[in-house]
Chain A
Amino acid sequence: MNIDVNAIFQIAGIGIIIAMIHTVLKQMGKEDMAHWVTLIGFVVVLFMVVRMLDTLLQEIKSIFLFQ
Chain B
Amino acid sequence: MVKLLGMLIIVLAGTLAGFNKARQFERRPQQIRELILVMQRLETEISYGFTPLPEALNKMGSQIREPLKSFFISAANDMNSSKGLTAQESIQQALSAHWKRTSMKDAEREVLHQLSFTLGTSDRQDQIKHIALAAQQLKHEEVAAREELDKYGRLSKNLGLLVGILVVILIF
Q: Which A residues contact B (CB, under 8 angstroms)? A: 6, 10, 13-14, 17-18, 20-21, 24-25, 27-29, 44
Contacts and interface: CB of A to CB of B under 8 A. Distances in A.
A43 B151 CA distance: 29
B169 A29 contact: no
Contacts, number: 30
B170 A20 contact: no
Interface stretch (B71-79, B88-96, B154-162): B154-162
Main secondary structure of the interface of A (DSSP, over half): helix
A21 B163 CA distance: 8
Main secondary structure of the interface of B (DSSP, over half): helix
Interface residues of B, number: 12
Given A6-B172, A20-B162, 11 more contacts: A10-B172, A14-B166, A14-B169, A17-B165, A17-B166, A17-B169, A20-B158, A21-B163, A28-B151, A29-B151, A44-B170
B117 interface: no
Contacts of A10: 169, 172
A18 B162 CA distance: 8
A13 B159 contact: no
Contacts of B172: 6, 10
Contact of A17 (B151, B152, B155, B162): B162
